[in-house]
């Protein structure tokens, strides 16, 4: 006695024998089974090793084509089209002095910190060095410092000995 049943992609045959119920299965048609893949590879005309070798050769050819294409393309390095400006070669001191000059000779220390993206400690240390050298003047305004270039100090802060600039 045999019972045959079709189920979408698999075919199962049940046979009843004297020794008991045995399942003769065509599960090799089921995509998840090992026998299915062996049969599929066999239909391609090769062993699994041949298929793997063909895949590796295909990837190597693709990589070679991409490498050749990249070498043949005219490509300019990113930095070639950008001309360096004078700001890149300025020292930190020159940069701070230029920033103060561009702002009319006076600038609050907090605005300097925001403009140069340095830490508050670095800006404070740099301004202290510039003040010692006499390149700037630091004036305390409440909780902030006003940084001035020589000759740009507010008139109220200048002493009697200094000539007032106009």
Three-state secondary structure readout of 25-43:
EEHHHCCCCHHHHHHHHHH
Phi (first) and psi of residue 44, to 5 degrees? -75, -10
Domain check: are 99 and 41 in the same one?
no
112-161: per-residue pLDDT in tens?
Answer: 999 888 899 999 999 999 999 999 999 998 899 999 998 888 876 555 55
78-117: per-residue pLDDT in tens?
Answer: 555 555 565 678 888 999 999 999 999 999 999 999 988 8
Domain check: are 41 and 92 in the same one?
no
- The overall pTM is greater than 0.75: no
Q: Is residue 76 part of a domain?
A: no
Q: Is residue 28 part of a domain?
A: yes
106-109-115 Cα angle (round to 5)? 90
Q: Is residue 62 part of a domain?
A: no
Q: 108, 90 in Cβ contact below 8 A?
A: no
Q: Is residue 66 part of a domain?
A: no
Structural domain of 107? 87-154
What domain count does the chain have? 2
Q: 160, 145 in Cβ contact below 8 A?
A: no
Confidence of residue 22 (pLDDT cuts 50, 70, 90): very low
Domain check: are 91 and 36 in the same one?
no
Phi (first) and psi of residue 17, to 5 degrees? -120, 175
């Amino acid at each position: 006695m045999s019972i045959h049943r079709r189920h979408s992609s698999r075919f199962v045959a049940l046979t009843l024998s004297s020794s008991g119920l045995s399942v003769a299965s065509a599960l090799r048609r089921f995509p998840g089974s090992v026998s299915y893949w062996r049969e599929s590879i066999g239909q391609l005309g090769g062993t699994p090793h041949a298929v793997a070798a063909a895949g590796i050769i295909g990837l190597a050819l693709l990589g070679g084509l991409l490498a050749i294409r990249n070498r043949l393309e005219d490509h300019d390095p990113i930095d070639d089209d950008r001309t360096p400006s004078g700001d890149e070669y300025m020292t930190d001191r020159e940069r701070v002095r230029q920033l103060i000059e561009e702002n009319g000779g006076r600038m609050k220390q907090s605005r300097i910190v925001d403009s140069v993206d340095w830490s508050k400690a670095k800006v404070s240390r740099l301004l202290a060095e510039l003040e010692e050298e006499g390149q700037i003047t630091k004036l305390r305004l409440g909780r902030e410092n006003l940084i001035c270039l020589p000759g740009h100090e507010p008139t109220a802060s200048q002493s009697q000995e200094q000539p007032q600039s106009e």
